[in-house]
Amino acid sequence: MIHLIVGNTGSGKTTYSKSLKQKTNGIIFSIDKWNKTLFLPDKNETDGLNWFLERIERSEALILDLIHQLEVSNLDSILDLGLSKYAHREKFRTFTKENGYQLKLHYLDIPKKIRLQRVLNRNSEKGETFEFEVSKDNFDFMENWFETPSKKELEMQL
């Protein structure tokens, strides 16, 4: 089973993923952790969104290979990858369908005010789910970048 964890910044995707891991004995793929470990140390101030998107695409090529291995082992994959755009989510739905795997989309619909407070708290507390600071500008950017799943999309389960 492949679990797509969807929600805007501060919705609790990583916390939810950890809870789901306990219920499913799945493996979590958290793009924030991958970015912090593999890419952020090399990031320059002039590197923008496309720089991140390119690296995320490369990471996901490896993640897709690992999902095949987990499916053979009958272990769930929990994808905490942002999945902010319909097309990004569709990429994983297509992969799932082409390979005969099961998919479940988990949408965390949390009000903006609560999410912003969570982000500010996470920035200052640097607790268990902290990987890097999310500025107010980054938070605001994601508000416009994120595509809320439609009712039809939420009903599309394989």
The Cα–Cα gap between 64 and 69 comes to 9
Domains of the chain: 2-155 (3.40.50.300)
Task: Provide the whole-model pTM.
Answer: 0.84
- pLDDT tens-digit profile of 16-73? 999 999 999 899 998 878 777 787 778 788 888 788 788 888 989 999 999 999 999 9
Phi and psi at 109, nearest 5°, equal -100, 90
Tokens linked to 135: 């500025």
- DSSP for residue 38: I
Cα dist from 94 to 38, 144, 153, whole Å: 27, 25, 13
If we measure between CA atoms, which residue out of 115, 40, 102, 109 comes closest to residue 67? 102
How large is the greatest C-alpha to C-alpha distance in the chain, in angstroms? 43
